[in-house]
Structure formats: structure tokens, C-alpha cells
Amino acid sequence: MFLNQKKIILGNWKMNQNLDQVRSFFEELETFGDISQGICPQAPYLSILENIRPKIGNFLVGSQNISSEASGAFTGETSIQTLSDFSSNFTLVGHSERRQLFHENDELLIKKINLSMEHGVGVVFCIGETLEQRESNRVNEVLSAQLTNVLPKVQNLKPELTCIAYEPVWAIGTGKTATAKQAVEAHRMVKSIISNSLPAKFSKTPILYGGSVKPSNAQELLENPEISGALIGGASLKASDFNEISRIAANIQA
């Protein structure tokens, strides 16, 4: 799913979009064959996406979260099995909002990724530094810890199911985007950490950029070969913006 070398444009809707908005988004959606596109809606809408899936071809459907347990007495959680029943292709793991607001730690993230690999569900593993960490020159150290404390410890991590999203915490939902230079620099760090900590078959693992990506900055970010695509929050809520960013990616790819 993630190894086809196409630019990957994913939307993370977070806890937004009502039923009408979900339906009209997919009516307005434009798909582009040269790239991979996908959306992570709120979990109950995954079932609707399954119904419209035949109309949207290879469009990827993702979950924003999964339980770290396979099943059982875990009120309020959604299991990986349920998500695979609704043909979810991938799940986000380690998003900074889940790390910060829901106190998710490395041990929990390893369990979630183990379950995803077992069920053939792709993982977009999110990492990124805070402003304070950046200002104290700790970006490489933080990214390295976030990656090496988790990925090498996953049982049977599969390259075709693995994708990284570099999302500087200070750029998420703030309107502040990393400059293309900052993003490229961080993506190079991630690539080198991967090559030092995972087997060679992970050398082509795509690395997405996330954090206030919008139509006006997509070109300068996505034109860099180090940036394999984008994980988009706010700007993915409007089909017109999502279409525009996808078009920019498709033109770069072509």
C-alpha cells in the first residue's frame, strides 16, 4: 500500500464533519491516478465510506485510532478487527494529540502497531518535536527516540504497511508550517534514523509531512523528493482544498 512510490495525500478529519458534510465531501472529491489519496473520518463514518468505496476506486480509508487490545472489556474503544471489517486500509498511530491528550506511551504504540501488522492494516506512525525541543536543538534526538523506542520493537513490521508522518507539534493546527528547508532537514534525519535502526527493506518507507499543510504551501513542500506526501488536518475538511493539494501532488508526480 505504501511502497508504490506515489505521493500520498491523507486527510485526518479528527473530531469534525457531520453526516451531510461527509457525504458532500465525497460528492465533490476528485481522485488522481498518479497519487495515493485517503481520509481518516470519525470511526462511525467508516461504514459509510465502505458503501461509497466502489465509486472512489483506490481511495484509502483510514482510522484515526485503534485500541491497543484485540477485544474484551475496554468500554469506548474500537478494535482492529472492527476496522478491518469496514475495510480500513490503515490507521494513524502516535498522533501528537493522542500522545499529549490521551497520554499514549511507546509501549501502547508498539501494541497498536503489532495488532495492525497482524491484521494487514497499514500504519501511519506520527512523530514530531515540540517548539521547546526544536528551540533547544533536540529535533534529531527526539525523532530518534520516538522512532527507535517503537518500530524496531514491533513484531513482524512490514515495509508495505509502514509509513511515517513527520508532524512538528508546533505546526499542527496552528497555521504555522515548517519551512520547506526545516521539513526537508527533518525528513533527512528520519530517513537516516530508519536506515540505522531498521533492516534495509525499509529504505523506501514513505515519510509524509504534516502540520498546517494547505493549498498555498503544498507546492513548496511536496516538490521535494524527501517529502513523500502530506497528512492534512484542517485543510482536508473542505473538498476543494483537499482536491487542490491532491492536484498539486499529482502534477509534481507526473
Where on the chain is the footprint of ligand PGA (CB under 6 A)? 12, 167, 172-173, 210-213, 231-235
CB of residue 245 vs ligand PGA: minimum separation in angstroms? 10
For ligand PGA, the closer CB: 83 or 126 = 126
Residue nearest to ligand PGA (CB): 233
For ligand PGA, the closer CB: 151 or 211 = 211
CA distance 108 to 46: 23
Q: Is 103 a catalytic residue?
A: no
CB of residue 172 vs ligand PGA: minimum separation in angstroms? 4
For ligand PGA, the closer CB: 2 or 198 = 2
For 211, phi and psi rounded to 5 degrees? 135, 95
Cell of residue 155, nine digits: 513484531
For residue 164, count other CB atoms closer than 10 A to its CB. 28
- Among residues 129, 52, 47, 128, the alpha carbon closest in space to that of 88 is found at 47
CA angle 53, 164, 138 (to 5 degrees): 150
CB of residue 141 vs ligand PGA: minimum separation in angstroms? 22
Catalytic hit among 95, 97, 104, 187: 95
Q: Is 167 a catalytic residue?
A: yes
DSSP conformation class of 9: E
Catalytic hit among 97, 129, 167, 187: 167
Give me the residue label for grid cell 468500554.
75
